[in-house]
Structure 1
Amino acid sequence: MELLKQISQSLQDGDDEKVASLTKDALTAGMTARQILDESLIAGMTIIGNKFKAHEIFLPDVLLSARTMYAGLELLKPHFLKDDIPSRGKVVIGTVQGDLHDIGKNLVGIMLKGAGYEVIDLGNDVPPAKFVDTAVSQGAAIIGTSALLTTTMPMMAQVAGILKERGLTGKIKLIIGGAPVSDAFAREIGADAYGFDAVKAVEIVDRFLAGR
């Protein structure tokens, strides 16, 4: 519908006031919160993600659109609670213990939220066991760990080891990412996937949760 296309375009333009105004109009017109989320906000962030992947836009553009998305999400939240609309799934993310870098991790969180997932962000300097404990207690099917330092990469292996010790390998998927990380390292430690960037991370989560 034209109104939903306008919301999507305003999100891509980074116009938070227009997104908020049009979202109100869509709700008044009788559209459901889920329809507005899926067909305008998520649709808009998907386009932004694809443009970022193709190097047509840059990180500040993604962050601007993400901030704009929240202008619409805040208006939809009461309707999600009222209608008990479930998220697409829960994902636990964090930067591993000993590493304080979080720009990449934050971008992954933004993109996942934009795709409709519930993100449990543990922050940085996260002990390996906390990733697993949180995923179990929150019922999350995926853990995403990030590292920028080669010296902290072994912490990712510890997360994989704890999952194996507890018989959770395969039941809770482990995605790793960060500048020094690679597909080969993911295979070496027994992780389920390597997310090259935020867009790839969302694609992996989509694939893992598609059958659930």
Structure 2
Amino acid sequence: MSSTTIRTDTDLAAEPEPPWLSGNTRARRLRMRFSRGRSVPHLALGAVLVAGCAAGFLTVFASSDTRTEVLALARPVAVGHVLDLRDLAVVEVAVDDRVPVIPASRSADLIGEAMATSLPAGALLTQDTVGPSMVPAAGHAIAALSLKDGQYPPEVAPGAKVSVVATPIAQGAPSPAWAGVVTGVGSSAGESTTVVSVQLPRTQALEVAAIPVGRVALVLLAKGDQ
């Protein structure tokens, strides 16, 4: 029956060396034997440190992406509109501290307050958008346009960018156009027309207001267009 003998590092250290090995060579062999026994614990410790650093990084990263519940508009509103609960929506966003958003906890404070400007659905409410009217802006004026179906897109709402186009009197004549922002949309009492209020630079607003009824149309523009 065969047997297996397990030799420890102590046994190896006591093993006689051949006469041709110098003292320095013998010391190097001993260091190599003992270092092999310690390599696995060192690797395990390194893995733990790496995992700890990664966990710390994730914790800092997650804490830097702080999101806050703030108030936004659930539907389009026009300047002067008195807010009620149906106008408000709670959204969770990450915003800069310099943006004066309104916390969701203040929703009750806004009920009954008037809008200072016209805004589309989804717009964040800030301290400046509620309160005394900001419309018209400095150097601007508002022109009221009486329009029939087909003279404006049904998607027109407060806050929309539009081009006011005057239909020419003579065929082939150029059609002047002015860029503006819709501040209100309402129905004219007793008539099948819609009154659209458009904010334009003061001089252009006067020109648009002088166009005869029925000779003007609105074109809805993309947000980035002028």
TM-based fold match above 0.5:
no
Please state which band the TM-score falls in when normalised by the shorter chain.
under 0.3
| Structure that is richer in strand per residue | 2
Q: What TM-score, normalized by structure 2, do the two folds share?
A: 0.26
Q: What TM-score, normalized by structure 1, do the two folds share?
A: 0.27
Quick check: which has more Rg, 1 or 2?
A: 2
